[in-house]
Amino acid sequence: MSECICSSCKNLKSVIDENDIEDNRIEEVCEFGFPADDCSSCELDGCELTCSHYVVDEADSIRVITKNCAICNTELEVVAGSVDEADVYCVSCYLTKH
């Protein structure tokens, strides 16, 4: 059985149904619309659908790189892309720098 194409797509977003105050229901929506009516609940067995807007959700593959604190030279792990070429500080040095 194939996995639902929408279950691993970056375009699928969870949205709280604001009209349903008591149940706090969360709905899955796609900004481009689902490729089939049953995709909103992913109830198609053996899904073989394709979607031209499909983008792989790579949230699980966060790259971590090592940088050194600009003051004390302690090794720090930072998320790749979150810090360009700017200086990086450990917590102690960041709180005490002038």
Residues spanned by the domain of 40: 1-58
Per-residue pLDDT at 84: 64
Residue 77 has pLDDT above 60, yes or no: yes
Residues in contact with 4: Cβ distance below 8 Å, sequence separation at least 6, in sequence order: 39, 42, 44, 47
The pLDDT tens digits for 31-73 are: 888 777 777 666 656 677 788 887 877 655 567 788 899 999 9
In the DSSP assignment, the letter for residue 94 is: H
Q: Total domain count for the chain?
A: 2
Q: Where are the alpha helices (DSSP H) in 1-98?
A: 91-96
Q: What is the pLDDT of residue 71?
A: 92
54 and 72, same structural domain?
Answer: no
Based on the fold, state whether residues 46 and 68 are members of the same structural domain.
no
Question: Same domain, yes or no, for 36 and 81?
Answer: no
For 59, which DSSP code?
Answer: T
Does 79 have pLDDT greater than 70?
yes
Residues 15 and 53 in one domain: yes
Rounded to a whole number, what is the largest CA-CA distance in the chain?
61
Q: Are residues 39 and 72 in the same domain?
A: no
Instruction: Tell me, yes or no, whether 39 and 2 share the same domain.
Output: yes
Is residue 83's pLDDT more than 70? no
